[in-house]
Chains A and B, each alone.
Chain A
Amino acid sequence: MTPTQEEYTMQFGIFSVSDITPDPTTGRTPTEGERIQAILTIARTAEEVGLDVFALGEHHNPPFFSSSPTTTLGHIAAQTNDLVLSTATTLITTNDPVKIAEDYAMLQHLADGRVDLMLGRGNTGPVYPWFGYDIRDSLALAVEHYALLRRLWREDVVDWEGTHRSPLQGFTATPRPLDGVPPFVWHGSIRTPEIAEQAAYYGDGFFHNNIFWPMRHTRQMVDLYRQRFAHHGHGGADEAIVGLGGQFFARPKSQDAVAEFRPYFDVAPVYGHGPSLEEFTAQTPLTVGSPQQVIERYAAMREHVGDYQRQLFLIDHAGLPLKTVLEQLEILGGEIVPALRREMATDRPAHVPDAPTHASRTAQQADAPTPVGGAR
Chain B
Amino acid sequence: MTTGSTRTLTVVSAGLREPSSTSLLASQLAAATRAALSERGLDPEVTTIELREHARDVTDNLLTGFASEGLQAAKDVVAAADGVITVTPIFSASYSGLFKSFLDLLDDDALAGTPVLLGATAGTARHSLALEHTIRPLLSYLRALTVPTAVFAAAGDRGNHHTIDASVATRIERAAAELATLVATREATEDVDTGLHSPSFAALLHAS
Q: Are A221 and B196 in contact (CB under 8 A)?
A: yes
Q: Taking A228-B198, A274-B59 as contacts, is the C-beta distance between A143 and B65 under 8 angstroms? A: no
Closest Cβ neighbor of B205 among chain A residues: A143
Q: Are A194 and B199 in contact (CB under 8 A)?
A: yes
For the complex, give the distance between the alpha carbons of A59 and B28 in Å.
Answer: 54
Complex contacts, B60 vs chain A, CB 8 Å: 274-275, 279
- Interface SS majority for chain A: helix
Q: Taking A139-B204, A140-B207, A163-B208 as contacts, is the C-beta distance between A220 and B66 under 8 angstroms? A: no
For the complex, give the distance between the alpha carbons of A140 and B207 in Å.
Answer: 7
Q: Are B68 and A213 in contact (CB under 8 A)?
A: no
Q: Taking A212-B66, A274-B63, A275-B64 as contacts, is the C-beta distance between A140 and B196 under 8 angstroms? A: no
Closest Cβ neighbor of A196 among chain B residues: B198
Complex contacts, B65 vs chain A, CB 8 Å: 212-213
Q: Which of A217, A224, A279 contacts B68 (CB 8 A)?
A: A279
Contact with A along B7-31 (1 / 0, CB 8 A): 0000000000000000000000000
A147 → chain B closest CB, angstroms: 7
Q: In B54-86, which residues have CB < 8 Å from any A CB?
A: 59-60, 62-66, 68
Complex contacts, A136 vs chain B, CB 8 Å: none
Q: In A178-201, which residues have CB < 8 Å from any B CB?
A: 193-194, 196-198, 200-201
Tell me whether B197 is interfacial, beta carbon within 8 Å. Answer: yes
For the complex, give the distance between the alpha carbons of A324 and B129 in Å.
Answer: 58
Q: Taking A143-B205, A274-B60 as contacts, is the C-beta distance between A224 and B66 under 8 angstroms? A: no
Q: Which of A141, A163, A201, A214 contacts B66 (CB 8 A)?
A: A214
Q: Which of B62, B66, B204 contacts A198 (CB 8 A)?
A: B204
Complex contacts, B62 vs chain A, CB 8 Å: 274
Closest Cβ neighbor of B62 among chain A residues: A274
Q: Are A212 and B196 in contact (CB under 8 A)?
A: no
Complex contacts, B199 vs chain A, CB 8 Å: 194, 197
Tell me whether B195 is interfacial, beta carbon within 8 Å. Answer: yes
For the complex, give the distance between the alpha carbons of A46 and B148 in Å.
Answer: 65
Query: Which residue of A164, A217, A221 has the most chain B CB atoms within 10 A of its CB atom?
Result: A217
Tell me whether A293 is interfacial, beta carbon within 8 Å. Answer: no
Complex contacts, A213 vs chain B, CB 8 Å: 65-66
Complex contacts, B66 vs chain A, CB 8 Å: 212-214, 217, 283
Q: Taking A273-B63, A275-B60 as contacts, is the C-beta distance between A220 and B201 under 8 angstroms? A: no
Q: Are B64 and A224 in contact (CB under 8 A)?
A: no
Tell me whether B3 is interfacial, beta carbon within 8 Å. Answer: no
Query: Which residue of A194, A200, A228 has the most chain B CB atoms within 10 A of its CB atom?
Result: A194
Complex contacts, B208 vs chain A, CB 8 Å: 139-141, 143-144, 147, 162-164
Query: Which residue of A201, A228, A274 has the most chain B CB atoms within 10 A of its CB atom?
Result: A274
Tell me whether B163 is interfacial, beta carbon within 8 Å. Answer: no
Q: Are A143 and B204 in contact (CB under 8 A)?
A: yes
For the complex, give the distance between the alpha carbons of A163 and B60 in Å.
Answer: 40
17 A–B pairs (Cβ distance < 8 Å), ordered by A:
A141-B208, A162-B208, A194-B198, A194-B204, A196-B198, A198-B204, A200-B201, A212-B65, A220-B195, A221-B196, A228-B198, A232-B201, A273-B63, A274-B59, A275-B63, A275-B68, A283-B68
Which B residues fall within an 8 A CB radius of A? 59-60, 62-66, 68, 195-201, 204-205, 207-208
A139-B204, A147-B205 known, 11 other contacts, Cβ within 8 Å: A141-B208, A194-B198, A200-B201, A201-B201, A213-B65, A228-B198, A274-B59, A274-B63, A274-B64, A275-B60, A280-B64
